[in-house]
Chain A
Amino acid sequence: MKTALCFFLALLAPVAQAQGLAPDVLVKTITDEVVAMLKKDKDIQAGDTQKAAELIEAKIVPHFDFTRMARLAMARNWRSATPDQQKQLASEFKTLLVRTYSTALTNYRDQKIDYKPLRAKPEDTEVTVKSDVKQSGSSQPVSIDYEMEKTDSGWKIYDVKVGGVSLVTTYRDTFASEVRDHGIDGLIKSLAAKNRETERVKAGKS
């Protein structure tokens, strides 16, 4: 009987995922899942960024709103971009972030993650999920905060702050000066070039 129930619950689980979950539960579920996979994966631990990128692409990317992230990083230049340019910006920015964080994931060792209680009202559509990561070898925990918004397809993350440093707004000045000097197409071009360059480095490595 118990086995049957477990089986039934296991069937339900993927459906329930992402849609109905509270933001803090969602972050915790994704993180737990990714951490469990990282712990098993000897290739990623050995520095296989390609495999880490695939993991991010499958498990993490669906929960991010890259359009909003690109818009935040572009600040007021976003409005002067055409819809097509906006699409390209969001896609190149996504590639850059996935590449970056696949490097970071290969550095993952035995970190312990604590979640702080969520301070939000049920009707809120924007919340911050806060967590502390304790790294082995360093006594000071690093805070990781997720800025999230409620959308029709569940909660989405639009910014991550590591130790108070936003992974989105840190690009703002770079983007602004690139747009000032070379225009929006210039920025798209240098993002694409940066993404190709890291791809080449990777290809050369393996």
Chain B
Amino acid sequence: MAIIEVNHLTKEYQLGHLTSLKETALNTMRRLALQPVHERERFKALDDVNFHINEGEVVGIIGHNGAGKSTLLKHLANISKPTKGEVIVKGSVAPLIEVGAGVNPELTGRENIYLNGAILGIPKKIIQQKLDEIIDFSELEQFIDTPVKRYSSGMTVKLGFSIATSMEADILIIDEVLAVGDLAFQRKCFDRMEDLIRRQGKTVLLVSHNIRQIERLCNRVILLSKGSVIGDGDANSLCAKFYQANDKKNKH
């Protein structure tokens, strides 16, 4: 049963600044003079993307920079709306897209756990139950009552990740956040991911440039290039194809 359906998804952005007063006035004059109007250039971030994801699948999304991976994830997390096509998501989504987003530097770590939890939609009771578990995972017991502006960058990220992964949802969307923190923490995050995938059977969408990680965690991979899906299937073969494409690009 498809938990995520993406049908003919197209997303166009307009490049450049919003039309200023000067441009609008000049365009009006051009229209009156029956001359071509200067329109902002359009950029297709996603071009007719189609795929279905079933419950419990672990899908990796790979591609070069600017291929449309984050844009795709934003559509799945309901942050952006498609220009054409539709996105149907049948389940709650936990977006791990830059986990430090809701973390406010003026508040302490503990206050931020409550705030970030509220932003992610976790009911207060559940945050209270899981409070110790979150602080423990983040390894910040000693600093939890200090304002976050005094934390190191690694500490902030550990806090954010810890809060975000305590969110119970059917679908996890992870946008390159496993590459943060020191080696020991990265291992811990990876283990938690594996736990969520194998033992709890969550549907996971993982965007990463760490192809090894993708090969280890995912059984299916979607390869994006310049907004289109150029591969969708077995992880190992598509990752190999991606390596080949990269090698070719570097040879030139």
| B and A form one assembly | no
Interface residues of chain A, those whose CB is within 8 Å of chain B, are none
